[in-house]
Amino acid sequence: MTRLAGKTVAIIATDYVEEPELVEPRDSLREAGATVRVYSRGGEPIQAAEGDVNPTEKVEVDGSLEDLDVAEIDLLIVPGGTVNADHIRTDERAQTLVRQVAGAGKPLAAICHGPWLLVSAGLVEGRRLTSWPSLADDIRNAGGNWVDEEVVVDRGLITSRNPDDIPAFVAEIEKALGER
């Protein structure tokens, strides 16, 4: 299918990203015709994991966070994995990227522990979103409205809780891309 032809999606992650939260959206969006590029902090392949600590595959990347130009993408995805999210949330470039995406009015999608980056970047105040349940207090303390739902869309912000929610997460990403 090519319903998303001409759309470009970026995924940002670090080592120990939760594999299905990166691989499944990447592959689904590519199958739908989108160009999907993966970026890591240093431009090196990413060690994916399952269940946070069980290494799986190495994911090839298309460049470093420094190579990512928000003007060239239609949507940004932040996958989870506790270790990945804990590292990327403190990365100044990652924080700048999500702020630029939000500031440009482009859709921003985060799943599982990925919303930690949104908290650190100051993007959740007054927003309704979901995440892995352990982030609920962080989101509330940052002024967000945390809810326990499969997928939540709030003014261009798309969030989901865990790998079980990936089909709904990807469906909302495709819908957002189709509307751009």
Q: Is the dihedral of CA 119, 57, 174, 151 positive or negative?
A: negative
pTM equals: 0.97
pLDDT in tens, 71-100: 999 999 999 999 999 999 999 999 999 999
The catalytic residue positions are 112
Q: Is the pLDDT of residue 21 over 90?
A: yes
65 bridge partner residues:
none
Report the 10 Å Cβ neighbour count for 175. Answer: 12
Predicted pLDDT at 179: 84
Predicted pLDDT at 2: 75
Checking DSSP bridges between strand 8-12 and strand 17-18, what pairing results, if any? unpaired
Using an 8 Å Cβ cutoff, are 118 and 78 in contact?
A: yes
Predicted pLDDT at 180: 73
Correct CATH for 8-179 of 3.40.50.720, 3.60.110.10, 3.40.800.20, 3.40.50.880: 3.40.50.880
C-alpha 151/C-alpha 165 separation (Å) is: 7
Predicted pLDDT at 95: 98
C-alpha 151/C-alpha 176 separation (Å) is: 13
Q: Break the chain into its structural domains and give their ranges.
A: 8-179
